[in-house]
Structure 1
Amino acid sequence: MAVAERVLVHGGGIGGLTLAVALGLRGVQVDVVELREDDGALGVGIIQQSNALHVMREIGVLDECLAAGFEADLLTICDPRGEVVAQIPQPRMDGAPASNGIPRPELSALLTRAAEKAGARIRRGTTIADLTEDDGGVQVVLADGTEGRWDLVVGFDGIGSPLRRRLYGDAYEPEYTGFANWRATVPRDPEVRGVVMSTGNRDVKALLTAISEESMYIASVNAEDPGFRPDPERAHEQFKERVTGFGGAIARALEQITGPEHVVYNRISQVTVDAPWHRGRIVIAGDAAHASTPHLAQGGAMAVEDALVLAQELERAETLPQALAAWEERRRPRALWVQSLSRAVLRQETGQPTTPEDDELLKVGIPGAAHHLVQPY
């Protein structure tokens, strides 16, 4: 891969590790730097829909994902009492399973192993302190005092991306939507064999997702003031106060949340970088470029698609500018479509006014989006 023989990946999350595997398999020397000291991923679990599993197959870790998670073919819709209203078959992409719930730490661990097996060097507890680009590469100084030179620097460094701020200052800061995601991991209910969605009193929607034979997570999106943070001692009680009016598996899941340590709270923000996602030899991808609300469960999928497509374009292009332009041409329309529809679903489900553009997107709906996203990218 002559256009980029050495690549520095800033961020060791799902997208960054996927890129490290994809490039390593193509003979590129990859270095990953991650600020967090440990290799445990934050959060609870993640839904890998078929397009994300297609990427996992392409980088050789699909079987590991399925072994660590809980494979499912159906989306189950229940009424507030927990009675099944509908079971919707989920589409598959090019031989990949329909969906897989998996604990985030398990996914992070298996991608780390795959990246190291592909030759990537992963350095934790540091970040980029300074960088200087010239015609031949990027000279980077890390916060631990070491420095090196790379052909390309890629920022999979999240919604608060320091690399994005280096490129564009504060022009594309995260926009808080007014809503937050409450989640907790609990023992899996035998009735939950995939994803279960239900709407209770006050139009509150709750979601159950099996992420292994033993565990699942419960999630709910609720309106929250910008300054709100859960009480460290009462977070479980606050979660339960927001998710009321349910019976069945959801009620049983709530009973399992017995302490604040079980609860994960995330404000839902969005980032839309209208400027190019690359400048010279520096690229931003995943949430750094197009963070979305969770309503299509596609944030992680868009990041790993970004990674695989970038590796493909670097392999086939004759020059680095050609590769980056082709990558962005493939990725921008799809990622921003997901972002726009996901935000429209949030507005619809929470009773906010929708725009004419939202209304047009909402004609597709969540089931239609799943069928759209199993098309080639």
Structure 2
Amino acid sequence: MTSPLRVLVHGGGIGGLTLATLLARRGHTVEVVEVREAPDALGVGIIQPSNALHVMREAGLLDACLAAGFEWEVLTIADPAGTPRAEIPQPRMDGAPPSNGIPRPALAGLLADAAREAGATIRYGATVDTLTDDGDGVDVTLTDGSAGRWDLVAGFDGIGSPLRTRLYGDRHTPEYTGFANWRVTVPRLPQVKGVVMCMAGPEAKALLTPITDDLMYLGAVFAEDESFRPDADTAHEELAKRLAMFSGPVAEALASVTDPASVVYTRISQVTVEDPWHVGRVVLAGDAAHASTPHLAQGAAMAVEDALVLADSLRDEETVPAALAAWEARRRPRALWVQALSRAVLKQETGTSTTPEEDELLKIGIPGAAHVLVKPY
């Protein structure tokens, strides 16, 4: 398409702001609407694998991400005491670095600034109230009373996506996996120069991930009842009990956690939209369409890949419907492969029975998946 488009991005998270930056820099009119009141993010870190860093380069944000985070090259597999048992170099994609750890709040700020600098508008504290797609455009009224007509509405609005509910009702609600993620930011230990995965048998794993020169985060996944929530006054003690089998750097990291409010607990859920990811001129992307477990560290990477491929499809195709069809044909196989392997790894690590199809996927493993995901897509 040669004519500039008007695009409404519903959701101001990692994927939505990446799309806004890419499209605005290509001359399109872009508005991001975000229900939160400010560009905040849950205060822990995130891994940017090489395929995500490739997208950041395309968006002009690679240097800023590396400056705000901690670039690393080697995944270390260690025993419960932190003694290295294997060191696995991470592959690079198309000249991008292998990996970067970065605080989520820092990344959120970088993306919001980049979208604004590119010319996009960000509207906080609002969401879609009414939406009418007549085939030639989409009329949208927001909850703050503003209204507009758009050539495309892109839903990067997360695993609980209101747009998904608007399109499909309750057909694709989040499925709780039975496991939850515990994370806490702590001072970086000098020996943690890349992700250190400490294993205590097949069902206990703790990760140490550097996110700045001074900080890292400790993460662990455990089976938890769906109704469970850590006690607000003892969350750090509950995490320490779950990690009692670890010594060395994990124990040292835990010893620095004295504030229960610093522990971030999130249930791990999954969404697979089996219907088409676009209806008319409304498209779902990122976690709204294909939320995965975190075991390949690819959730945010898949969202920013969605954004880049969507921006490229809108450039290369003659109409919005053709662009959405081309986008989904490229994205669905890759995103669902990541989702399936991530879920299989979760089941393997927690001693849950796997299917024959999952057993085939597990032959690839986490190191093999990294090499698959740096290939062109």
Query: Do the structures match in fold with TM over 0.5?
Result: yes
Question: 1:364 corresponds to which residue?
Answer: 364
Render the CA deviation track for 1:291-322: whole Å, top value 9, x for unaligned. Answer: 00000000000000000000000011011111
Q: What residue identity is the alignment partner of 2:357?
A: E
Q: What residue identity is the alignment partner of 1:374?
A: V
- Displacement of 1:351 in angstroms is 0.2
Q: What residue identity is the alignment partner of 2:140?
A: V
Render the CA deviation track for 1:54-76: whole Å, top value 9, x for unaligned. Answer: 00001100000000000000001
Deviates more, 1:358-367 or 1:36-45: 36-45
Q: What residue identity is the alignment partner of 2:231?
A: D
- Say whether residues 1:335 and 2:335 are aligned partners: yes
Distance 2:3 2:273 in 1: 25
The percent identity for this pair of structures is: 68
- Say whether residues 1:163 and 2:160 are aligned partners: no
Distance 1:240 1:38 in 2: 32
Question: 1:112 corresponds to which residue?
Answer: 112
- Say whether residues 1:96 and 2:130 are aligned partners: no
Partner-residue secondary structure (3-state), 2:42: coil
- Displacement of 1:86 in angstroms is 1.1
8 A Cα contact 2:44 2:103, kept in partner: yes
Q: What residue identity is the alignment partner of 1:121?
A: T
Q: What residue identity is the alignment partner of 2:277?
A: W
Question: 1:323 corresponds to which residue?
Answer: 323
Question: Any unmatched runs of 5+ in structure 1?
Answer: none
Partner-residue secondary structure (3-state), 1:203: coil
Distance 1:203 1:10 in 2: 38
8 A Cα contact 1:55 1:304, kept in partner: yes
Superposed, which structure 2 residues align to 1:204-223 within 5 Å? 204-223=204-223
Question: 1:40 corresponds to which residue?
Answer: 40
Render the CA deviation track for 1:101-147: whole Å, top value 9, x for unaligned. Answer: 00001111111111111100000011011111113211101001111
Distance 2:4 2:167 in 1: 20
8 A Cα contact 1:137 1:150, kept in partner: yes
Q: What residue identity is the alignment partner of 2:14?
A: I
Question: 2:188 corresponds to which residue?
Answer: 188
Question: 2:293 corresponds to which residue?
Answer: 293
Q: 1:318 to 1:202 in 2, by over 3 A?
A: closer
Question: Any unmatched runs of 5+ in structure 2?
Answer: none
Deviates more, 1:232-241 or 1:293-302: 232-241
Distance 1:8 1:236 in 2: 41
8 A Cα contact 1:4 1:314, kept in partner: no
RMSD: 1.0
Distance 1:344 1:312 in 2: 31
- Say whether residues 1:199 and 2:199 are aligned partners: yes
Superposed, which structure 2 residues align to 1:59-74 within 5 Å? 59-74=59-74
8 A Cα contact 1:156 1:284, kept in partner: yes
- Displacement of 1:82 in angstroms is 1.2
Distance 1:203 1:8 in 2: 43
Question: 2:273 corresponds to which residue?
Answer: 273
- Displacement of 1:43 in angstroms is 4.1
Distance 2:202 2:324 in 1: 46
- Displacement of 1:244 in angstroms is 1.7
8 A Cα contact 2:101 2:211, kept in partner: yes
Render the CA deviation track for 1:267-293: whole Å, top value 9, x for unaligned. Answer: 000000010000000000000000000
8 A Cα contact 2:4 2:27, kept in partner: no
Question: 1:232 corresponds to which residue?
Answer: 232
Q: 1:3 to 1:153 in 2, by over 3 A?
A: farther
Distance 2:262 2:337 in 1: 33
Distance 1:158 1:230 in 2: 23
Render the CA deviation track for 1:244-276: whole Å, top value 9, x for unaligned. Answer: 211221111111111211100000000000100
Distance 2:101 2:286 in 1: 20
8 A Cα contact 1:4 1:152, kept in partner: no
Distance 1:88 1:244 in 2: 26
Distance 2:243 2:4 in 1: 50
Q: What residue identity is the alignment partner of 1:218?
A: L
Partner-residue secondary structure (3-state), 1:321: helix
8 A Cα contact 2:202 2:349, kept in partner: no
- Displacement of 1:200 in angstroms is 2.3
Superposed, which structure 2 residues align to 1:295-314 within 5 Å? 295-314=295-314
- Displacement of 1:3 in angstroms is 6.5
Q: 1:202 to 1:307 in 2, by over 3 A?
A: closer
- Say whether residues 1:243 and 2:243 are aligned partners: yes
Deviates more, 1:230-239 or 1:305-314: 230-239
Q: What residue identity is the alignment partner of 2:152?
A: L
Render the CA deviation track for 1:330-350: whole Å, top value 9, x for unaligned. Answer: 000000000000000000000
Question: 2:9 corresponds to which residue?
Answer: 9
8 A Cα contact 1:4 1:320, kept in partner: no
- Displacement of 1:192 in angstroms is 0.4
Q: 1:182 to 1:188 in 2, by over 3 A?
A: same
Distance 2:132 2:322 in 1: 22
Q: What residue identity is the alignment partner of 1:38?
A: A
Alignment size in residue pairs: 377
Q: What residue identity is the alignment partner of 2:121?
A: R
TM-score (structure 2 length as normaliser): 0.99
